[in-house]
Amino acid sequence: MKTCSLLMFTFISCQLMAQPVPDSPPKEHELQLGLAAVSSQSVYIGGKTQTQVFPAIDYQYQRFYFQAGELGFNLIENKAWEVNAGLNVNLVGDTDRGDSRLLKDLPELSLPLSSFVSATYISKVGLFKLKHDVEINNKHNGQSSAFTYSAPIFKGKWLIMPQLSVEHHSEEVVHYFYGINPLDATAELPTYRGESATNFTLSVLAIREFNDRWSWVGSVQNEFLADEITDSPMVDEDQRLSVFAGILYKFF
C-alpha cells in the first residue's frame, strides 16, 4: 500500500523540522521502533478498504538511514538543505488491487524497486521537497516525480502539519497498475492503455511527543486521481482516503 510510505515520510520530515539542534554534535547511531497502522480506501472496482498493521523502524548511522521502508544516503545536509539518494518501493496502486474478485484473473503485480534522489529545503514558511524515482527491477521501467509542500503549526507539545503533494507518473507506471493488456481483456474489462498522469494529495498530520522517548503520530490523507487513472475500466473511484496512526519509542 503506497499510503504507508507517504505518511511515514511525512512523519520523518516533521521530526526533522520539530527537533533542530544545530549546536549539538550529531549522534553516530539513532534508533526508533514502534507500531503503526493504516487504513486505505481501494479505488479498484470491487476492491475493499484495506487495513494493515506493520512495524515502524527509523534507524540512522552517520549518513546512512532506513526510514519508512526507504534505504538512503545523505549527500548534503546543512541548516536549510538536505539531499539524499537511495532505494525504495514506489507504489502508485495496490499490488493486490484491493483483493477484488472482479480483477482476480488479471496478472499478479509485484513490488517495483526504485532508485531515487531527493532534495529538501526547510524555510520559515515550511518544508519543500522534490523527489524523482526510477524503477530498476524491470517491473514497469517507469519513473515518478513528486513535489511536496508542508506547513508546520506548533501548539504546545503538538505539531500539526497540513501538506500538499503533486505527483507525476510516467505512462509505464500508470499502465502497470491500471492498464489492461489485450491478452487479458474481457467484455467487462476492455483493453486500456495507461498514460502519464498527475495526482494531487492533501493531508493533515499531527505529532504528539509525550517525553524524550515516546511519540505518537496520526494523519488523514486524501489523494485525487488523474483522469488517466480513473478512465481505466478497473477503477471506480476518483479519490483515495487513508487514515494512519503510529507510536514510536526512541532507544538511542
What local confidence, expressed as pLDDT, does residue 23 receive?
Answer: 46
What local confidence, expressed as pLDDT, does residue 93 receive?
Answer: 85
Count of alpha carbons within 13 angstroms of residue 90, beta-carbon side: 30
> What distances in angstroms separate CA 176 from CA 41, 45, 172, one per listed residue?
19, 16, 6
Q: Which domains does the chain have, with CATH numbers?
A: 2-250 (2.40.160.40)
- The 8-class DSSP code of residue 211 comes to S
Helical residues (DSSP H) of 89-237, grouped into ranges: 171-178, 227-230
For the entire predicted model, the pTM comes to 0.87
What local confidence, expressed as pLDDT, does residue 27 receive?
Answer: 66
**pLDDT tens for the chain, residues 1 to 252:** 454 444 444 444 444 444 444 444 556 889 999 999 999 999 999 999 999 999 999 999 999 999 878 999 999 999 899 999 999 998 788 899 999 999 999 999 999 999 999 999 999 999 999 999 999 999 999 999 999 999 999 998 899 999 999 999 999 999 999 999 999 999 999 999 989 999 999 999 999 999 989 999 999 999 999 999 999 999 999 999 999 999 999 998
Query: Of 220, 217, 204, whose CA–CA distance to 245 is shortest?
Result: 217
And the C-alpha cell for 173? 507506471
What local confidence, expressed as pLDDT, does residue 121 receive?
Answer: 97
What local confidence, expressed as pLDDT, does residue 130 receive?
Answer: 98
Burial class (CB in 10 A: 0-12, 13-18, 19+), 206: middle
What local confidence, expressed as pLDDT, does residue 3 receive?
Answer: 45
- 222 residue type, one letter: N
